[in-house]
Amino acid sequence: MNDIMISENYIIACLLKIMDKFCIFCGEKPESKNREHVIPQWLIRMTGDPNRTVYLGRKWTSSTLDKREFSFSSFTFPACEKCNSDFSYLEARAKPIMETILTRGPLDSHQWDIFLDWLDKVRIGLWLGMLYLNENHRAILPMFHIGKRIGSKDRMVIVYEIEGDGNDGVGWAATELPLFEYMPSCFTLTVNNFIFLNASYDFLFAERFGFPFPAKRIHREDGGFWIEMTAGTERLHFPLVSKRFKTGGTQLFQPVIPYVHFRSECGEVADYSELYKVPYVKSRCMDFKTGRGLIYRRDCNHLVEYPDAPVRDWIPKQKFARGEVQHQTSVLAGEFLEDIYRNHPSFDALSDNERERRETEIESAIRLHKTIMDHFINQKDMYY
């Protein structure tokens, strides 16, 4: 569900609650108060001094826009003790996968499924964390939290490799952009000599993958939207997404059956399962019951099913200078965010005043986003 299209009255009614502490996993008031490291401690230790300082953008609520810097050990956010414990299992499974990636070892499709779960967790965790740090200055009402966002939408990752230069570390980009605050659908994560450009969104490539897709998506006054689904073509069309990405990286895709998003015209849960109970869809799922598609690797203009057995097919064919690829992938993430953001549901069902208000809000957000992006693009000499 698009997390920004919310009526003004709804925002005002919920604003005080937003500013209260909430568990980043379930969204409720934290029980048995605990703290979650959005960037896990094992990754911090794996990439350098665990007590080092990380730059987290500017303090947007400060008139002087001071730099925001934290020690990694302090970069934590509220969580329920049980939620934190439950999600520690994902961290335990993701750690050896990351170790294998950093040593260029073989991985199987199920490991990539786990890794994409982990990227969902980190991306949404950074989003909620930045809302905290920025005191939610845009009055955004989160419509989901980590627990409901993992593995719920089409997703992809492009893996780029950096030439060995000894500059190990962990960093991320695009999370400070205005459109990421509104729609946390794309970011980059740098870990030592690898960059992961990760994106996930409602029906991101379902139609071009041949899966069922929404013929219509129309906003409701309450901020949600209803969809009218149609059967898939059962044919693959390239490219899966409209954005052209930097070549030399390995592109991996996973279609997801987004059961949680199905609603009727009146907003009730709708059953579209018959559209998916076809051989084409079932044969392209590793777990049809949970809606998890197979992992696919792009090979030129073909998709190759990623094997169940561990292979090194994920290793990029090319290495890049750190500054060059970090700058270029950050720009790509920002541009892809705009592409995704513009693909919002229709406002046809809204009143004229509400439609005008939301269209104005969208264009204002895009203008600010473009201004920041232009400034960043013009700073490329700092990276090359």
Whole-angstrom distance, CA of residue 227 vs CA of residue 232: 15
CB 158 within 8 A of CB 251: yes
The answer to whether 195 and 172 are in contact (CB under 8 A) is: no
Distance CA 120, CA 87 (A): 12
Place of tokens 């229709």: 346
Q: What is the DSSP letter of 243?
A: P
Structure-model confidence comparison of residues 295 and 226, the more confident one? 295
**pLDDT at residue 223 in the model:** 66
Average pLDDT, integer, range 16-20: 48
Nearest residue to 330 via CA among 376, 375, 368, 372: 376
Place of tokens 């090359």: 384
pLDDT of residue 17: 44
**pLDDT classification of 6: cutoffs 50, 70, 90:** very low
Indicate the pairing of strand 319-320 with strand 154-162.
parallel
pTM: 0.90
At 96 the pLDDT is: 98
Burial class (CB within 10 angstroms; exposed 0-12, middle 13-18, buried 19+) of 80: buried
Tell me the per-residue pLDDT of 181-235, one tens digit each, with 9 for 90 and over.
889 999 999 999 999 999 999 999 999 999 999 998 888 776 677 788 899 999 9
How does DSSP assign 78-109, residue by residue?
A: EE-HHHHHHHHHHHHHHHHHHHHHHTT--B-H
Low-confidence winner among 3-7, 146-150, 171-175, 361-365 (lowest mean pLDDT): 3-7
What does the pLDDT look like over 30-43, one tens digit per residue?
Answer: 877 677 788 899 99
Q: How far is Cα 204 from Cα 256, in angstroms, rounded to an integer? A: 9
**Single-letter amino acid, residue 370:** K
pLDDT of residue 171: 92
**pLDDT tier at 18, thresholds 50, 70, 90:** very low
CA atoms of 134 and 131, how far apart (whole Å): 5
Least confident of 8-17, 111-120, 348-357: 8-17
